[in-house]
């Protein structure tokens, strides 16, 4: 199986990343927990992370821990 995706920004949250990936027609994505050039790590909000699951299911993809 071939996975098609891209790197996405976490600035708008995990749910937004899943929706963006779906809009682009991808079935996978990766993200950086912080800017690789420096800066703070964005704190994950558990409710936002869990909101990624239904967004992914609606797009026909899966979320792996």
What share of the chain has pLDDT > 70, as a percent?
80
Contacts of 47 (CB under 8 A, 6+ apart): none
Domain that holds residue 18: 5-59
User: What is the CB-side half-sphere exposure of residue 51 using CA atoms within 13 A?
Assistant: 12
* Structural domain includes residue 47: yes
* Structural domain includes residue 65: no
Mean pLDDT score, 13-20 = 84
How many domains does the chain divide into? 1
Specify the pLDDT at position 10.
Answer: 78
DSSP H stretches of helix in the chain: 14-24, 46-59
Specify the pLDDT at position 65.
Answer: 55
Place 62 in a pLDDT band, splitting at 50, 70 and 90: low
Contacts of 26 (CB under 8 A, 6+ apart): 4, 5, 6
6 and 26 in contact (C-beta within 8 Å)?
yes
Q: Which residue has the tokens 């809009």?
A: 23
């Amino acid at each position: 199986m071939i996975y098609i995706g891209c790197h996405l920004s976490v600035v708008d949250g995990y749910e937004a990343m899943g929706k963006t990936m779906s809009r682009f027609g991808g079935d996978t994505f990766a993200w950086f927990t912080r800017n690789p050039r420096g800066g703070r790590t964005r704190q994950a909000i558990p409710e936002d992370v869990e909101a990624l699951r239904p967004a992914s299911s609606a797009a026909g993809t899966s979320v792996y821990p």
